[in-house]
Amino acid sequence: MCGIVGAVAQRDVADILVEGLRRLEYRGYDSAGVAIINNDNELQRVRRLGKVQELADAVNNNPLSGGTGIAHTRWATHGVPSEENAHPHISSNNIAVVHNGIIENHQELKNLLIEQGYVFTSQTDTEVIAHLVDHLLKTEASLLAAVQKACKQFIGAYGTVIMDRRDPERLVVARSGSPLVIGYGLGENFLASDMMALLPVTRKFAFLEEGDVAEITRFEVNIFDKKGNAVERDATEAQVSHDAGDKGEYRHYMLKEIYEQPTAIRNTLENRIIDNQINTEAFAGDGVNADQILKDIDHVQIIACGTSYHSGMVARYWLEQYAGVSCNIEIASEFRYRKSFVPKNALLVTISQSGETADTLAALRLGKELGYASSLTICNVPGSSLVRESDMAFMTKAGAEIGVASTKAFTTQLVGLMMMTIAIGKNKGMTPELQQELVQSLMSLPAKIDEVLALAKDIEALAEDFADKHHSLFLGRGDQYPIAMEGALKLKEISYIHAEAYAAGELKHGPLALIDADMPVIVVAPNNDLIEKLKSNVEEVRARGGLMYVFADTDAKFASDDTMKVIQVPHCDEAIAPIVYTLPLQLLSYYVAIIKGTDVDQPRNLAKSVTVE
Ligand code: M6R
């Protein structure tokens, strides 16, 4: 949430900072700003309401010179999106600050600073950082010391970067709850909230740990842990490709990412299946025996948010049906604030694309205190907080996902969760035949998904019917119920059409009252054991004058008529049907959003990585 870029270099850094913001814009995009110290040691600041392009135009029209600077793209928490609330915030015309996260005790600090004569010009919590550091610099010997002291007073989450025009070749950064990465250059150094921002200038990165404060100059990076001890953080070479942030031939990142799914799944499977067996090294962690842990567990507790929560819901069906292991799934923001019971030998599984979702991370930390036998994260971002703090990590190999609406991260999570199901089931009586069958189903996925993607034109035509609709209902049964939920989330998120999902059997317990010709009903109907039950639910809708859009297995014998449009989905194995049926729903929401003219990749009010609770 929000994006930060900073640089200390000999060359002018304005273009590096603005390009970095462009690459981070998916994290927040309601306003953006940059501050640079020029050669006369003056602070120059430009801020604009709206997208990074507004800022880029302003900087183009009035170029900024100088080699030390910080920049920010904002997702508003405290204070409306506006130029005055945009970062960087400045104190006494000396200190400039950018910040991700929330300073929860900002009001208390603000009152104290007002007593000291500081005047606040924004409604943000961030401005207290600038004034507090300025205030502390009256007694502290260095910017580093002032920031370290200030951090002790903050309650909440922050990734923050501070610069002082009187000490023009230095940035001080602090991390507590919001990720920051340092990028090493030759005679220049950088930092950002996500390494994607810095790929055009460096590939060598070190992640700050919780509580770290670091000072960065052109030639040195000095890192101190939460106790103030000097520490080293390992620097690694990024494996992500430089152009991961480009749309290529596609109109939107979301569409590109939908079409990348066969490759993303292939990459996620690669080298992880040997002789029809899951290679448990795929779940490895430092100093832990993944094989043994997966053997020993008797219960799985899954925690996640949003789309990742939906993949966890599917996994519950799989774990209980195929592996014979009990499983609970809960939304992270609920789990973290209630007293829960920890069964014996329970594995805590977190699922996250970003690995930085604040609620999921907090739930993992709580789970460790509660005494889960072990923790595993299914995650797409190497080096992210969830990966570093979990005992084991299964990395989905979806590649960078830029569109706010999660697509390829979801389907690769499901691939990882099915592999986990097989790896656990193997020791719980799953027959070798079933293991082999499930593995073969997984292997058939990329080709199957290519077949579904070939339906895009038909789905685009269907989307026309939704242009004037305000509400919609998604129905599924069994492991397709979470897929209906995911379809509804996708549609509401990018087309702003109100969408609800129900387990189809639940229809008659209330939602049936909503059915009329203005409420399209979308049904996912693979040819499984529940198909006849689902057909009865379809009849209930038909009898109330509802209009249906059914994504049905070619063998399920649905036919289009006046009340129902059927898209025939190629037949697939039952086990992988939740993954296969996700694709048409992703395409449907994409094309509806195109018709509605919304900002597909950066839908209103949302941000890609939710690092605040
Ligand atoms: O990075 P995470 O998977 O932890 O993110 C969780 C949710 O914020 C995320 O899935 C969100 O719901 C997506 N925008 C859905 O498309």
Determine the distance from the C-alpha atom of residue 480 to the mean position of all C-alpha atoms in its chain, rounded to a whole number: 23
Distance from C-alpha of 99 to C-alpha of 117, rounded to nearest angstrom:
23
- 360 CA: nearest ligand 1 atom: 4
Residue 307 CB less than 6 A away from ligand 1? yes
Question: In the predicted model, what is the mean pLDDT of residues 108-130?
Answer: 96
Q: What confidence category does residue 71 fall into, taking pLDDT thresholds of 50, 70 and 90?
A: very high
Domain ranges of the chain: 3-237, 248-430, 449-606
Whose Cα sits closest to atom 7 in ligand 1?
A: 306
Residue 493 CB less than 6 A away from ligand 1? yes
- Tell me the C-alpha to C-alpha distance, in Å, between residue 377 and each of 84, 191, 387: 39, 26, 6
Query: For 479-511, what is each residue's pLDDT tens digit?
Result: 999 999 999 999 999 999 999 999 999 999 999
Which one of 29, 313, 354, 404 would you pick to mutate in the ligand 1 pocket, going by the greatest count of ligand atoms within 8 A of its CB?
354
Distance from C-alpha of 252 to C-alpha of 239, rounded to nearest angstrom:
24
Residue 308 CB less than 6 A away from ligand 1? yes
Distance from C-alpha of 424 to C-alpha of 419, rounded to nearest angstrom:
9
Residue 406 CB less than 6 A away from ligand 1? yes
Establish whether 397 is a catalytic residue. Answer: no
List 2, 151, 327, 379, catalytic entry: 2
CB neighbours (10 Å) of residue 544?
A: 16
Q: At 302, is the secondary structure helix, strand, or coil? A: strand
| CATH class name, domain 248-430 | alpha beta
Residue 306 CB less than 6 A away from ligand 1? yes
Residue 610 CB less than 6 A away from ligand 1? yes
Distance from C-alpha of 415 to C-alpha of 396, rounded to nearest angstrom:
8
Residue 354 CB less than 6 A away from ligand 1? yes
Q: What confidence category does residue 241 fall into, taking pLDDT thresholds of 50, 70 and 90?
A: low
**Per-residue pLDDT for 242 more than 60?**
no
| CATH class name, domain 449-606 | alpha beta
Query: For 278-302, what is each residue's pLDDT tens digit?
Result: 999 999 877 889 999 999 999 999 9
Q: What is the pLDDT of the chain when averaged over all its residues?
A: 94
> Which of the 8 DSSP states describes residue 323?
I
* Superfamily of domain covering 3-237: Aminohydrolase, N-terminal nucleophile (Ntn) domain (3.60.20.10)
Ligand 1 midpoint to CA 288 (Å) = 28
Cβ-count burial 173-208 (b if 16+ within 10 Å, e if not): bbbbbbbbbbbbbeebbbbbbbbbbbbebbbbbbbb
Q: Contact at 8 Å (CB) between 192 and 161?
A: no
Distance from C-alpha of 51 to C-alpha of 602, rounded to nearest angstrom:
10
**Helix/strand/coil (H, E, C) string of 130-181?**
HHHHHHHCCCCCCHHHHHHHHHHHCCEEEEEEEEECCCCCCEEEEEEECCCE
Fold match, 248-430 / 449-606: yes
Query: For 552-606, what is each residue's pLDDT tens digit?
Result: 999 999 999 999 999 999 999 999 999 999 999 999 999 999 999 999 998 988 8
Residue 612 CB less than 6 A away from ligand 1? no
User: Cis omega (within 30 of 0) on the bond before 432?
Assistant: no
| Residue the block writes with tokens 């009865």 | 536
Ligand 1 midpoint to CA 145 (Å) = 37
- Cβ-in-10-Å burial (0-12, 13-18, 19+) of 314 comes to buried
Question: In the predicted model, what is the mean pLDDT of residues 316-321?
Answer: 98
> Which of the 8 DSSP states describes residue 41?
S
Query: For 412-455, what is each residue's pLDDT tens digit?
Result: 999 999 999 999 999 999 999 999 999 999 999 999 999 999 99
> Which of the 8 DSSP states describes residue 193?
S
Ligand 1 midpoint to CA 357 (Å) = 8
Q: What confidence category does residue 25 fall into, taking pLDDT thresholds of 50, 70 and 90?
A: confident
Establish whether 151 is a catalytic residue. Answer: no
Distance from C-alpha of 100 to C-alpha of 609, rounded to nearest angstrom:
11
Per-residue model confidence (pLDDT) at position 382: 86
- Evaluated on CA atoms 235, 236, 237, 238, the torsion sign reads negative
Which one of 29, 331, 353, 410 would you pick to mutate in the ligand 1 pocket, going by the greatest count of ligand atoms within 8 A of its CB?
353
- The tokens for 600 are 């597909």
Cβ-count burial 371-391 (b if 16+ within 10 Å, e if not): ebbbbbbbbbbbbbbbbebbb
Ligand 1 midpoint to CA 352 (Å) = 7
